[in-house]
């Protein structure tokens, strides 16, 4: 911010010079204008004498004598002007007033800037110029928090803050951000759906009455709102209302690209709901038959210089073939490692995920310094694991990602 104050000081100095310039210029101009006037009068007088001489009104002797007298008077006037004298200047009160105003100018500028300007806004603007794209969702959240503190009526910034807080697993704070966004922007289906989703996560994956009301209103405004359809499908499935789950997920599927990872996951949920609807609830399966035993660790020195409150490891299990959407996923804080853990049905990405004992999967763990699953620095893999196997799979995060 040093250069800002330097430029501000230069501008204030320029303003002070503009205020004092007329006084200095008036003093100089008075001296110059007096001599110029005397010379002009002398030249005019000589021209008149020449005209009289040419007309025969004056003899040559009279002309010379009169001209010499005019020259003597000009010389006296010029010498008188050059003698020290009190300079021309405005009244004493006016001079004092100008000096006081010039002195008050910097104070007025600083006061007005503190009233109407904003150093935090300037600092944020420069940060955005230097780093347009934050490196993690945590940085996005921090930037949006600064923007909303400077611009509390920026509804879009509140919405983006809510999304970032939701991504960094701060659902309670995300609810407040979405509510503030809706106060500014009014009821929008996306805001309503995101707020309901935040309430869903804050309530341990349960939809309360306010969340359901928000989702219903979102679908009134936009019957194809994807977040609302997905959440209501989950709630219906968990409540055993399989026809409603099939209906919500079917509507959601219409707006998804055919064959995409998300579409395949929704199709799997619909198939599971249809099967349960036709055959009744499936017999209980021993949870131990659907779990993976894992020992997860980081390579030595990999956690050095990382923020333990922000960095995290994301653990995935997905189908053996391809790079589709994970079936199971869990976020593990850096300070929890190394860890021995069980990955199972409770870590399913979506209700209705079909798991079978002995199912072949691949196991992946990725380190994210910023806590954002989309930005990882290292990973570890186990090429093939068997669901429900008694074997303990050792997974070490150590491979750099480009």
Could you read off the pLDDT of 256-275 as tens digits, one per residue? 888 887 888 888 888 888 88
Contacts (Cβ under 8 Å, ≥6 apart) of 345 = 287, 290, 291, 328, 353, 355
- Residue 286 pLDDT exceeds 60: no
pLDDT of residue 148: 86
Contact of 269 with 370, CB cutoff 8 Å: no
pLDDT of residue 313: 92
pLDDT of residue 112: 62
- For residues 63 and 388, the model is more confident at 388
Tell me the mean pLDDT in the region 218-247.
89
Tell me the mean pLDDT in the region 285-299.
80
**Are both 246 and 309 inside the same structural domain?**
no
| Domain range enclosing 328 | 287-400
**Are both 178 and 249 inside the same structural domain?**
yes
pLDDT tens for 311-328 read 899 999 988 876 667 888
Residue that is last in its domain, among 116, 142, 177: 116
Mean of per-residue pLDDT scores for the chain: 78
**Are both 223 and 295 inside the same structural domain?**
no
Lowest mean pLDDT among 21-25, 287-291, 327-331, 369-373: 21-25
Give domain status of residue 122, yes or no.
Answer: no
What CATH number is given to the structural domain containing 250?
Answer: 1.25.40.10
DSSP 164-208: HHHHTT-HHHHHHHHHHHHHHH---HHHHHHHHHHHHHHTTS---
**Are both 272 and 302 inside the same structural domain?**
no
pLDDT of residue 225: 93
Show the tokens assigned to 228. Answer: 């609302």
| Strand 399-400 relative to strand 312-319, pairing | unpaired
Dist CA 255 CA 250 (whole Å): 9
Lowest mean pLDDT among 31-35, 203-207, 290-294, 343-347: 31-35
- For residues 266 and 105, the model is more confident at 266
Task: Give the best-scoring range by mean pLDDT among 90-104, 187-201, 273-287.
Answer: 187-201
E-strand ranges in 250-374 read 292-298, 312-319, 328-333, 339-343, 360-368
**Are both 24 and 110 inside the same structural domain?**
yes
pTM: predicted TM-score of the whole model, two decimal places: 0.52
Show the tokens assigned to 311. Answer: 């960095």
């Amino acid at each position: 911010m040093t250069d800002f104050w330097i430029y501000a000081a230069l501008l204030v100095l320029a303003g002070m010079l503009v205020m004092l310039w007329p006084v200095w210029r008036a003093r100089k101009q008075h001296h110059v204008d007096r001599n110029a006037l005397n010379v002009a009068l002398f030249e005019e007088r000589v021209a008149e004498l020449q005209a009289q001489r040419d007309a025969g009104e004056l003899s040559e002797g009279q002309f010379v004598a009169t001209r010499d007298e005019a020259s003597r008077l000009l010389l006296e006037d010029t010498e008188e002007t050059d003698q020290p004298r009190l300079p021309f200047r405005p009244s004493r009160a006016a001079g004092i007033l100008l000096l006081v105003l010039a002195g008050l100018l910097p104070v007025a500028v600083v006061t007005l800037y503190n009233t109407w300007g904003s150093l935090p806004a300037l600092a944020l603007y420069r940060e955005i110029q230097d780093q347009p794209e934050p490196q993690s969702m945590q940085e996005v959240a921090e930037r949006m928090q600064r923007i909303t503190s400077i611009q509390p009526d920026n509804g879009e910034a509140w919405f983006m803050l809510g999304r970032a807080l939701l991504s960094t697993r701060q659902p309670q704070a995300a609810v407040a951000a979405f509510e503030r966004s809706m106060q500014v922007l009014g009821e929008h289906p996306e805001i309503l759906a995101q707020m309901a989703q935040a309430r869903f996560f804050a309530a341990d994956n349960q939809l309360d009455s306010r969340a359901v009301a928000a989702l219903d209103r979102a679908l009134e405004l936009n019957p194809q709102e994807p977040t609302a359809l997905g959440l209501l499908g989950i709630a219906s499935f968990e409540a055993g209302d399989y026809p409603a789950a099939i209906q919500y997920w079917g509507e959601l599927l219409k707006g998804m690209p055919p064959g995409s990872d998300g579409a395949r996951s929704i199709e799997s949920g619909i198939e599971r709901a249809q099967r349960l609807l036709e055959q009744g609830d499936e017999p209980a399966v021993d949870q131990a038959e659907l779990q993976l035993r894992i020992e997860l660790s980081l390579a030595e020195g990999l956690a050095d210089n990382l923020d333990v409150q922000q960095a995290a490891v994301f653990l995935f299990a997905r189908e053996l073939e391809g790079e589709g959407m994970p079936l199971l996923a869990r976020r593990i804080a850096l300070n929890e490692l190394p860890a021995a853990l069980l990955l199972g049905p409770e870590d399913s990405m979506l209700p209705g995920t079909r798991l079978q004992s002995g199912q072949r999967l691949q196991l992946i763990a990725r380190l994210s310094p910023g806590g954002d699953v989309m930005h990882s620095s290292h990973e570890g893999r186990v090429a093939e694991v068997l669901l429900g196997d008694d074997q303990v799979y050792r997974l070490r995060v150590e491979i750099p990602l480009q």
